[in-house]
Structure 1
Amino acid sequence: MYKMVVIDDEFIVVEGIKAMIARMKLDFEVVGFAYDGIAALEVVRNTRPDLVITDIRIPGLDGLSLIEEAKEFLPDTAFVVISGYNEFEYARRALTLGVKGYIDKPITMEKLTEVLRTLEKEFENLEQTNIERQDTERKKQAINTHIDLLIHSIIREEADNVRLLTENIMEDIKNQNNTIEEYKNESFKFLCVALGVFSEQKKQYERENLVSYKDIEVLSNWEEIKGYVKGIIDRVAERIDASKSGSSHRIIIQLLDYIKLHYNKDIGLNELADMVSMNPAYLSVLFKDEVGMSYIKYLTQVRLTHAKELLLDGHKVMEVSELVGYNDYHYFCSIFKKNIGQKPNEFKGSVRKK
């Protein structure tokens, strides 16, 4: 039931409205009444009604001044004014105060019913809006709570919790967003937060190697997006497990030994990843984390170290290029100059002079 207060300086009007309300099959209940503005303000303050019906001309404090005062502490209460036939100026001012209805005297059942039915629909719509708003806030709070827990799980290196909370967060995001584009945007934001926290924990970790909005943008359905996000977070969880168990160190040692023996072969990161059953993007991050430089840079250093030894042994530059794994002679010379500061022939000459 919606609570209502009736205010009029005429006893018969107040009692008449109360009687009409009692006969109507509407969700309104009179919880208070008054015959002057001063008493009315106190009644309104004490009962905090959903609706106030007040005459404009009442003693002590006129109806419009009463509305202005009451709105200070009851901004959501609706007001309907009663006015005589010639009080148009009052009616115009009432509109500026956001009054919801206007009833001219004499008050009849039909006039009162029309106003109250309109207000009843407004109240119902407002209630529905409030329910939807509260539901949205509840869903946002659920996401924030789960993200907070996930952040703590990353910091504490709790890989299983990271995986579980990601499931919850992706479901929260889906429940909150109506379109797949919103789902993509919020999923990407979540990834950025999670990877940002993880990169703070692991200073050498490169977030951009794992996630790109372009990768999410091309996905066409909810499951693909969820799968992409879970794949990224799984790599984070794997990295957490690896750092705790020390297995990452053993894997990299295995790969370094392999590179030492096969540096002159055409070995790419994909091949190494297959050897240790890892995702290439994840292995790229892991390699840099453990070795302190990218795989390509490390392989280049190994090859150039051997190249310098072969040049000092008297091998020709073209021969050295092939022996260390560069089939393109010009590319080898360019890489050598970029890293050593001299061309291969210049390097040979400068060493001989010494």
Structure 2
Amino acid sequence: MLKAVVFDDEYIVLEGLRSMIDWQRYGIELAGTAGDGLTALQMLRDEAPDIVLTDIRMPGMDGLQLIETAAKELPDTMFLIFSGFNEFEYVKRAIGLGVVDYLDKPITVSKIEDALLKAIERIAKQQEFSALKVKWEASRAQLLEKATLDLLLTGAKAVDQWKEAFGPDAARVVGLTVLAFAEAHPGVPEHPTYRIVDVTNGEERLSVAFHYALPPEFLWERLFEMSNQASSAFGTGKLYLSLSEAPNSYREALRALRYGRFLEENGWTRIEDVEGNEPLPADLSKHEEAVIVSLRTGDREGLSKALDGFEAWVEAQKPDPDQVEQEILKLVYLGRKIAEESGKNLRKLEAVGHGQLSAMHTREDMFRWLRSRLDGLLSLTPEPRPATKHPAIEKALSYLEEQYGQDVSLQELAEHVGLNPTYFSLLFKEEVGITYIKHLTRIRMEKAKTMLREGMRVGEVSEKVGYLNYRHFTEIFKKSVGVTPGQYRESFHPACKGGVS
């Protein structure tokens, strides 16, 4: 039902309109009346009516002033004016304000009813237009989502279709970055320097940032903020300048996300942090980790439970036998790597025997083969875990102490110590208790605190500890220390207050 209000400073007019008009007949509820402009304005704000009938001449605020003020707050409300003064200037102003009808006094029932019908007809058209607009916008959003997904999957073949769906702003796009999320998220905040298009592909939750300006500083800042508050992982691919390279960023984003999940890290993982890693199936990473940890710690019971879990997963998910074979071989080779790095002689073991595994057709046979190989490896690993850190981790820690001011990637660090990046990342977390990125951040913050206590400017410190983005450095420092770098510096050097660069 529509809602109407009537304003006039003559009591007899108000009562006449209240009683003589059959409001229900028109599907209208008369929500209230007022005799002066100020009371009328408050009633408009309280009731938000669909139709307003008002006199021009009222104390406090005349009808045209009332409409001019209220129309900004209630753009969809229909206004009907009546007056005993049919002056040209009044009519001209009323038309300019979009008034539906201008009625001369004396007011008759037929005049009011005709005006109400006109207002109702306009409301119906407006609602119909609004519904069509909503439907059109939804359809357009769906087309853009589909075109964006096609762009991620096929690259150059979908560029023209994507440009048509994206609209005129497609000409402004100078690059793109794909984001992949582990769970539903509130969305990446928008900004004039980029546009976000959300996409789903099966269970994959994706967002594509189409950049209007480079470098994308504002997007990185928002991702840092999201990372600090995230309860799950998300990953990003590289930024590509060509739309045809969208599939590359898409694959990289999924890979970064998978790595973040593998390490059970909430927040943002960049592909630059994991470049060189072999992909890890998200559902299998927990089984792989359990097997590897059991081998390293000589935990025979733990190994048995881990393999039971892996086998139960295979039984439930029924993956392709080739995939199972690849995962089994991967576990065997990682296990041999563990034994080799522990100084054990692998010549005592029989060969891996790829051909044996490939010839097996049942899950039971394949897992019996896997258990026999890992049992053999377990006999070579030390029973008690050594108190000292693995030599490769000691070497990595020394390297990070020396290179903390550089952009040290996982690939670079793993190559420096001569280990597979996947195995190294797991080994580092197990030995140190945190990921290499968090450890590097901890070193950088301690070095930054030392420099700030010595009076060095914040901007200079930011660059020296490896952060070219000053805002990012400030945010990380405050999260770690509890105050901004400037505040920390001022606490030791009060005379330096206000100096940041």
For the criterion TM > 0.5, the same-fold answer is no
Whose radius of gyration is greater, 1 or 2? 1
More helix by share: 1
TM-score (ref. length: structure 1): 0.44
